[in-house]
Amino acid sequence: MLYLARMDVHLPQDMPVVQANEIKAREKEYSQELQRQGKWQQLHRVVGQYANYSIFDVDSHDELHEILSGLPLFPYMSIEVTALARHPSSIR
Question: Nearest distance from residue 51's CB to a copy of itself, in Å?
Answer: 10
Minimal distance, residue 29 CB to a copy of itself, in Å = 9
Cβ contact 40:27 at 8 Å:
no
Residues near a copy of itself (CB under 8 A) are: 1-5, 12-14, 27-28, 31-32, 35-36, 42-50, 52-53, 55, 60-62, 64-65, 68-69, 75-76, 78-92
* 87: Cα within 13 Å, side-chain hemisphere: 5
Which among 1, 22, 20 has a CA at the least distance from the CA of 84? 1
Nearer to a copy of itself, 18 or 92 (CB): 92
